[in-house]
Amino acid sequence: MTQSDKVRENLVRRMAKRQGLELKKSRRRDPRALDYGSYWLVDIELNAIVAGGRYGISLDQVDAWLTDGADDDDA
């Protein structure tokens, strides 16, 4: 992960927190795993996944979800 990727991840993490959500990142280290490098948005109060489903979504999709709303079927 480059420095700019980490900065962007932190920006998206702060966006999520302002909306009452938490950004979770896959802890997988195997690039062949289905959820490697994936993210989930979790509702803090309900402790429920609101975006990402079973295998997670990319940081671009998380950013779009947070800025455009829950229009996608990725949840």
**CB of 67 within 8 A of CB of 75?**
no
Task: Collapse the DSSP code of 45 into the 3-class scheme (helix H, G, I; strand E, B; otherwise coil) and give the result.
Answer: coil
Is residue 70 very low, low, confident or very high in pLDDT (cuts 50, 70, 90)? low
Q: What is the pLDDT of residue 75?
A: 47
Q: Can you tell me the distance from the alpha carbon of 67 to that of 43, in angstroms, rounded to the nearest whole number?
A: 16
User: Stretch 23-51: mean pLDDT, rounded?
Assistant: 96
Is residue 71 very low, low, confident or very high in pLDDT (cuts 50, 70, 90)? low
Across the chain, mean pLDDT equals: 91
Bridge partners of residue 15, in order along the sequence = none
Could you tell me where the DSSP H helices lie in 1-75? 3-18, 59-68
Q: Residue 17 CA to chain centroid, in angstroms?
A: 11
Question: Is 56's pLDDT higher than 80?
Answer: yes
Give the closest residue to 12 by CA, choosing from 52, 54, 47: 52
